């Protein structure tokens, strides 16, 4: 695949704020806080007109969200798109998106959790490298935002090569391939469509508030896909916050790595919690024990 890498973020660029997933609520404070933060750093902002729409638990109806998603990618004034929040809703959009618009207008796109569905489908259908990273409500829109998260975000968007580190080696070895993954529940929800990469990949995953048996089930859903088993070269497990049994989880990680026979490291700051790293989905990387070296120039 010809991987499309969006231009790096630089001062004076415009950041678009989009809500392709869950409903936001009526509080405008996170958006205004984020706008003020970006402005002080020298960035302009443009807010989607569907931001505060509500359709049950969704940020508006699907057609409105698709229209605004397309418009943000087609707008030449917008250099980066950061999503408001996760929740649920992105999965409803994946078969309605015109991926040629994404392919022909490459730009930075960032989000995690439910936004994983868009990150993975943009890569699969348009070849666009995206970013699994912070969003407005959970990160940029907080007055007590994590300095670590902000530094990691801008490092990922501006540097060609850098490393992130895990905490514990589960299965020793080295692996190479594109980085691919995100929130585990959302990744597993894509089963049934064509979403697995055609090239070798290092799988990264995180989740929150999931019992170990559900984590087991979601990993098994992916492992039952032949292309997943064939193309996976390594695993980087992030944080699985608020699960029910850490010992069982560690056993599951070991079992998964052994069955797939790939190197595996856990404890990367890929997470729903406040201190998170930003991971470029589709960038080339090498896993060597605790170090994940990322190279966006390849």
pLDDT of residue 2: 87
Question: Which tens digit of pLDDT belongs to each residue from 167-204?
Answer: 999 999 999 999 999 999 999 999 999 999 999 999 99
- With CA atoms as reference, report the closest residue to 48 among 27, 29, 70, 26: 70
Question: Which tens digit of pLDDT belongs to each residue from 105-159?
Answer: 999 999 999 999 999 999 999 999 999 999 999 999 999 999 999 999 999 999 9
Question: Where exactly are the structural domains of the chain?
Answer: 14-149, 161-295
Question: Which tens digit of pLDDT belongs to each residue from 216-274?
Answer: 999 999 999 999 999 999 999 999 999 999 999 999 999 999 999 999 999 999 999 99
Using the predicted structure, report yes or no on whether residue 1 has a pLDDT greater than 80. Answer: no
**DSSP letters spanning 26-50:** S--HHHHHHHHHHHHTT-EEEE-TT
- CB neighbour class for 105 (10 Å; exposed up to 12, middle 13-18, buried from 19): middle
| Six token digits for residue 107 | 């730009």
Name the helix (H) or strand (E) containing 220: helix 212-223
Q: Calculate mean pLDDT across residues 90-107.
A: 98
65, 52 Cβ separation under 8 angstroms? no
CATH superfamily, region 14-149: Murein tetrapeptidase LD-carboxypeptidase, N-terminal domain (3.40.50.10740)
Query: What is the chain's length?
Result: 298
Residue the block writes with tokens 């569905």: 117
108, 134 Cβ separation under 8 angstroms? no
pLDDT of residue 106: 97
The verdict on domain 161-295 having CATH code 3.50.30.60 is yes
59 three-state secondary structure: coil
Whether this model's pTM surpasses 0.75: yes
């Amino acid at each position: 695949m010809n991987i499309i890498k969006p231009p790096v973020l630089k001062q004076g660029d415009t950041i678009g704020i989009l809500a392709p997933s869950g409903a936001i609520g009526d509080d405008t404070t996170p958006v205004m806080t984020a706008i003020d933060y970006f402005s002080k750093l020298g960035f302009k902002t443009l807010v989607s007109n569907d931001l505060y729409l509500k359709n049950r638990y969704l940020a508006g109806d699907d057609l409105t969200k698709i229209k605004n998603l397309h418009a943000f990618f087609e707008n030449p004034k917008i250099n980066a798109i950061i999503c408001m929040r996760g929740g649920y809703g992105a999965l409803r959009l994946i078969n309605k998106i015109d991926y040629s618009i994404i392919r022909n207008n490459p730009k930075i796109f960032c989000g995690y959790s439910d936004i994983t569905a868009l990150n993975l489908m943009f890569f699969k259908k348009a070849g666009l490298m995206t970013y699994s990273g912070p969003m407005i409500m959970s990160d940029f829109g907080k007055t007590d935002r994590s300095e670590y998260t902000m530094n990691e975000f801008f490092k990922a968007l501006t540097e060609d090569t850098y490393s992130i580190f895990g905490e514990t080696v589960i299965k020793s070895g080295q692996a190479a391939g594109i980085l691919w993954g995100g929130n585990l529940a959302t990744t597993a929800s894509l089963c049934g469509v064509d979403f697995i990469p055609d090239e070798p990949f290092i799988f990264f995953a995180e989740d929150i508030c999931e019992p170990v048996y559900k984590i087991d089930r979601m990993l098994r859903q992916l492992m039952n896909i032949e292309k997943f088993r064939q193309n996976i070269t390594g695993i980087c497990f992030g944080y699985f916050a608020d699960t029910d049994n850490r010992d069982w989880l560690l056993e599951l990680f070991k079992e998964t790595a052994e069955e797939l026979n790939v190197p595996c490291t856990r404890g990367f700051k890929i997470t729903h919690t406040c201190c998170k790293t930003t991971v470029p989905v589709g960038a080339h990387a090498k896993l060597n024990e605790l170090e994940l070296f990322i190279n966006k120039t390849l």
